[in-house]
Structure 1
Amino acid sequence: MSTHTVFRLTHRNGFDGLEASNETVPEIDRHELLIKVRSVALNFRDIAIATSQYPFPVKDNVTPCSDAMGEVVEVGSSVPGFEKGDPVVVAFDPTALYGTIDNWDNGHGGPVDGVLKQYLQVSYQGVVKIPKNSSLKDEQWAALVCTGATAWNGLYGNIPLRPGQTVLFQGTGGVSVTGLALAKAAGAKTIITSSSDDKLAYVKSTFGADYTINYKKTPDWAAEAKKLTNGVGVDYILENGGSGTIKQSIEAIKFGGIISVIGFLSQASQEEMPDVAALALSKGCVVRGIIIGSKQQLEEVVRFVGNHDINIPVEKTFGFSKEGVVEALEYMASGSHIGKVCVKVS
């Protein structure tokens, strides 16, 4: 029987727990696809899982990572709509076909084995075809699985974004810059924040951010955002910081606007914890937690990106070896990246 390389976390006390093993290529049943993985995109979740900071279930000896783009190499006998050679991406949770993800029990790379391997066996229902003749690179499609679906959920999962509205993105990580690219293609005005003028200049010149705010130089960035919107406030915010930034987000949002909480990178001390309920009530705004996105939302963002040929931000790609993957995780953990960090598998 043929074998392939599979990475597993032998412990969760650091990136040195990552080890490669030689395992049998799985056999699919009649409802499954066998996918040859071509690219894997990393997320902050992968760092948290490898360092025991992830607050949700993780199986022992797990194969990490959740975002894969690949090529169908075998099709189950009862699978409709797929054939060998189809380029595809695989949903974060293949059981969440539409609506919201109902639990944390089926996400790749945590409670179930992930995608950092050469071949992936998965139910066809969790797989989305991508355009065969797209100008986007493999890693750009891989980057849509969590990042693209999360940004899409933030912009379209409640009240859909409309042209001419304003969206504020916190930081220059994958979700923020991808969301900015999506919002620009939809005709929205965009504001992005960072502590680095160089990163802000890059995002403005490369991805067309309309406005930038350095939150180190302008700690009251909410007031600046309101000034940029003639005192009205922004329509949407993708909230990355969590308790440390939510007060400023609610101050920046317009009455009735939507704040999508997608991260917890900036924690407030207990003494400085904001009264989110009172603040949200004062603005009549929606503060909603985002759990990635369903397979339907992944399909929607794949179609939108394909139709508009959107430049999905991938900064750096590393090799498929223990050294390469560890280097990729360390680079992402350093926070110096803009957009996504990926691993080229084949």
Structure 2
Amino acid sequence: MHTSAAWILEGQDGLGSLKLIHDKPAPSLGDYDVLLHIHAASLNHRDLAIAKGAHSLVIKPNVVAASDGAGIVEAVGPLVQSFQPGDRVCTYMVPHQPESEPVTFADIGAGLGQQVDGTLRPHAVYHETALVKMPASLSFVEASTLTCAALTAWNALFGLAARAPKKGDVVLVQGTGGVSVIALQVPGATVIATTSSKAKAQRLQALGAHHVLNYRRNPKWGETARALTPDGKGVHLVVDVGGLSTASQSLKAIRPEGMIAMTGLLGGPPPGENVNTLVDCLMNLCTVRGVLLGTRRQFEEMNRFIEEHGIRPAIDERVFGFAEVREAYEYMEEQKHFSKVCVRVE
């Protein structure tokens, strides 16, 4: 039996619950299992929420933290057909999920980093359905960012083929988290991005944003985004990461028959503003679509697209070592990061 160092959650009382152990046993290789040498992992806001016990997120005792990672297959079970030793792969958050089945909150709650041991360890055994081949063009650190944020962005942009942005469309993305930063790299579209930092605005522009709005200086950024569109009718697609905190401005920005992809729940409504309801879809003649992760088939499609178009996921300039995991969590909690916070596992 393999043992591995691992960062586990002893409880859900905040970052103090994270503990590095050195003898985490790995289960023996089953018929459909893969032994993975994890080289890199990345963090999501979900990982902070799990450590704090927020949103009623429940863990199995002493679960290995985090869901996102990339590495090399070292061995496979006798009935594994999808992988062979030497394959470079990313983790998929929801093992055993049919390849085209939409993912629910319940599915994610039963997945990696919560009920299934996650990626903050050098060696892991996963069912083959918890892995996809990574783009050959990416490093392990870059590929470790794809599991959650990039796949969510892909689903938001291309999950409904009839609404996928095309050349000349205007897309609005919010903030500088992983979902927004990968979404702004969609080829052919005009992208409007929001941030509250001049330094981050410069990075957004360097990655391809055509316009950057400061949402703190301009609380009516949704109206400004609408005014920036060539015909003044509004944007074709909003990738909304804030939920109630941003929904009202997303509705101000969207054009008739446009679509808002709701991908996050980062905050409540601004002071003095009403909570938006389904009736707002009628009043603004738009579609609002809930987007949660994506299917395994979409993950494979996205990886092919990344490779074909030479897309490189943006990561924060600071990459943490394996011994610095708690510092990585703190860095993300303090919102010091740009796009994705990554950890070199080994």
Q: Please, what TM-score do these two structures have when normalized by structure 1?
A: 0.93
Counterpart CA distance in 2 for 1:215 and 1:312 is 24
Instruction: Say whether the 8 Å CA contact 1:37–1:120 is kept in structure 2.
Output: yes
> CA-to-partner distance for each residue in 1:236-268, whole Å, 9 max, x for gaps?
111111112101101111111111111122312
Q: How many equivalent residue pairs?
A: 338
Matching of residue 217 in structure 1 with residue 217 in structure 2:
yes
Amino acid at match of 1:143: T
Identify if the C-alpha distance between structure 1 residues 271 and 247 changes in structure 2 by more than 3 Å, giving closer, same or farther: same
Instruction: Say whether the 8 Å CA contact 1:93–1:294 is kept in structure 2.
Output: no
- The alpha-carbon deviation at position 270 of structure 1 amounts to 8.3
Amino acid at match of 1:12: Q
Unpaired runs of at least 5, structure 2: none
Structure-2 residue corresponding to 1:236: 237
Instruction: Say whether the 8 Å CA contact 1:8–1:64 is kept in structure 2.
Output: yes
- The alpha-carbon deviation at position 202 of structure 1 amounts to 1.7
Counterpart CA distance in 2 for 1:54 and 1:6 is 25
Question: Which secondary structure state, in structure 2, belongs to the residue aligned with residue 303 of structure 1?
Answer: helix
Counterpart CA distance in 2 for 1:212 and 1:269 is 21
Counterpart CA distance in 2 for 1:95 and 1:271 is 45
Identity over aligned pairs, percent: 35
Counterpart CA distance in 2 for 1:270 and 1:58 is 33
- The alpha-carbon deviation at position 292 of structure 1 amounts to 1.0
Matching of residue 120 in structure 1 with residue 124 in structure 2:
yes
Amino acid at match of 2:32: H
Instruction: Say whether the 8 Å CA contact 2:2–2:27 is kept in structure 1.
Output: no
Instruction: Say whether the 8 Å CA contact 2:41–2:144 is kept in structure 1.
Output: yes
Any residues of structure 2 matched to 1:1-40 within 5 Å, and which?
Answer: 1-21=1-21, 22-40=23-41
Structure-2 residue corresponding to 1:317: 319
Counterpart CA distance in 2 for 1:80 and 1:40 is 25
Matching of residue 196 in structure 1 with residue 197 in structure 2:
yes
Matching of residue 180 in structure 1 with residue 184 in structure 2:
yes
Matching of residue 171 in structure 1 with residue 172 in structure 2:
no
Counterpart CA distance in 1 for 2:2 and 2:195 is 48
Q: 2:164 aligns with which of 160, 166, 171?
A: 160
Amino acid at match of 1:151: A
Amino acid at match of 2:276: D
Instruction: Say whether the 8 Å CA contact 1:45–1:54 is kept in structure 2.
Output: no
Amino acid at match of 1:175: V
Instruction: Say whether the 8 Å CA contact 1:38–1:68 is kept in structure 2.
Output: yes
Instruction: Say whether the 8 Å CA contact 1:91–1:294 is kept in structure 2.
Output: no
Counterpart CA distance in 2 for 1:151 and 1:120 is 27
Unpaired runs of at least 5, structure 1: none
Moved more, 265-274 or 81-90: 265-274
Instruction: Say whether the 8 Å CA contact 1:39–1:345 is kept in structure 2.
Output: yes
Matching of residue 293 in structure 1 with residue 294 in structure 2:
yes
Amino acid at match of 1:168: L
Counterpart CA distance in 2 for 1:130 and 1:311 is 12
Counterpart CA distance in 1 for 2:256 and 2:250 is 12
Instruction: Say whether the 8 Å CA contact 1:247–1:279 is kept in structure 2.
Output: no
Matching of residue 342 in structure 1 with residue 346 in structure 2:
no
Counterpart CA distance in 1 for 2:171 and 2:115 is 33
Structure-2 residue corresponding to 1:141: 143
Instruction: Say whether the 8 Å CA contact 1:247–1:276 is kept in structure 2.
Output: no
Moved more, 12-21 or 171-180: 12-21
How big is the alpha-carbon RMSD for the aligned residues of Structure 1 and Structure 2?
1.6
Counterpart CA distance in 1 for 2:197 and 2:302 is 29
Question: Which secondary structure state, in structure 2, belongs to the residue aligned with residue 272 of structure 1?
Answer: coil
Counterpart CA distance in 2 for 1:154 and 1:42 is 20
